[in-house]
Amino acid sequence: MTTPTTITHLRSTLLRVPWRGAPPAAGVVPPGPREIYVLEIETQGGLTGMSYLHPLRGGLQTIDACMKELVAPHVLGRDATEIEGIWQTLYKNNFWLGRMGVTVFAQSAVDMALWDIVGKRAGLPLFRLWGAARAKVPAYGSGCFRGLGRDGMIARAKEFTAMGLTAIKMQVAHIRPWREDVLNVKAMREAMGGGIEIMIDVNMGWDADTAIQAGHRIDEYDPYWLEEPVVAEDFAGYRRIAAALRTRVVGGESHFTRNDLRPFLEHPGVPILQPDPMRGGYSELRKIAAAAEPWGITVAPHLFHEQMVHLLASIPNASYLEYMDWNDDLWIAPILPDTNGTMTPPERPGHGLAFRPEVLKDHRIGGQSMTA
């Protein structure tokens, strides 16, 4: 039996959008234009939920093929309010082929679009639908990319602090030796003074021994955290580094679902987890937060502040929101930092995001319509 919330239609839009100005000088992200996957889910009653993925390293056509073959058949005809049931169906049916990877990316797009529908149906923003815990979330400015060099990273950090942000993130590893990275951290601390928190992102660029050797020197400059010092699978390395350093060691953005993060919960030496919404969706990130909270672990999601502001405003163990301004130009109403270093979730129903129509029209490179 169909109802007004029966899912009737999935529609994808593949975007290739030029950067505003120069591409990020991150050293690990390809320099080409932004590639963004947009999913819209329509219901019998006319409600439409939207989500997007920004995979950073291509794969839009692969995600779209996965959506058509492995995901849409399990979604079409279901009730949009069955979010948990749909999540479990997709995960179990695609477990053999995609316990991690592209199927979870596609599943995450479905999950976030469904929550958008439920929020719109209830007439509530997601953070209120989930039981608002706070009205504002602390944020840090992310974008002091390693490729900018020492002076460029410091200049970028000053742009963030001029906006009122009291925390910034810089990068190390990959394109320079660790001793030079240490000098860059020293220069950043001297430029920022003692009132600004400095996060440091390694992007999995070191092994455990290098992270400990460099980390002992970096400890002297009182950073807030050292992020992803080793490859995601090296849980033993994480524990060694965390035990050796004064600085917090954090990670999680490259892990898929709470199952992949389980070693961090079984051995809670990492005090802040950074799950990525593309690796499980809203539903999974809320479960990760709930699983982490009894162990005193907080959550600082990876990127996508315009999606994640609702999550952090609704959980008790929220840490920082990562403000990366590289997609602000895509939205009709971008979510920007307040002058006091926080961000405020919009009061619009659902997640409250809408692409500017010209972005969807002028930069479309593909997509498809999927119906029962």
Task: Using pLDDT thresholds of 50, 70 and 90, give the confidence band for residue 30.
Answer: confident
Neighbours of 154 (CB within 10 A): 19
DSSP string across 144-196: E-GGGHHHHHHHHHHHHHHTT-SEEEEE-SSSS-HHHHHHHHHHHHHHH-TTS
Range from 97-101, 108-112, 247-251, 321-325 carrying the lowest mean pLDDT: 97-101
Measure the CA–CA gap between 177 and 20, rounded to whole angstroms: 30
Helix (H) or strand (E) holding 122: helix 102-122
Task: Using pLDDT thresholds of 50, 70 and 90, give the confidence band for residue 1.
Answer: low
Q: Show Cβ contacts of residue 67 under 8 Å, excluding neighbours closer than 6 positions.
A: 10, 12, 39, 106, 109, 370
Tens digits of per-residue pLDDT, 56-84? 989 999 999 999 999 999 999 999 999 99
The tokens for 196 are 């600004």
Please, how many CA atoms are within 13 Å of residue 358, restricted to the half-sphere of its CB? Answer: 2
Tens digits of per-residue pLDDT, 145-162? 999 999 999 999 999 999
Does 22 score more than 70 pLDDT? yes
Rounded average pLDDT over 225-251? 98
Percent of the chain with pLDDT over 70: 100
Measure the CA–CA gap between 191 and 1, rounded to whole angstroms: 64
Rounded average pLDDT over 236-252? 98
Tens digits of per-residue pLDDT, 119-149? 999 999 999 999 999 999 999 999 999 999 9
The overall average pLDDT reported for the chain is: 96
Task: Using pLDDT thresholds of 50, 70 and 90, give the confidence band for residue 98.
Answer: confident
Q: Give the per-residue pLDDT at 270.
A: 97
Q: Give the per-residue pLDDT at 26.
A: 81
The residue type at 56? L
Tell the burial category of 19 from Cβ atoms under 10 Å away from its Cβ (0-12, 13-18, 19+). Answer: middle
Range from 19-23, 253-257, 277-281 carrying the lowest mean pLDDT: 19-23
Tens digits of per-residue pLDDT, 165-206? 999 999 999 999 999 999 999 999 999 999 999 999 999 999
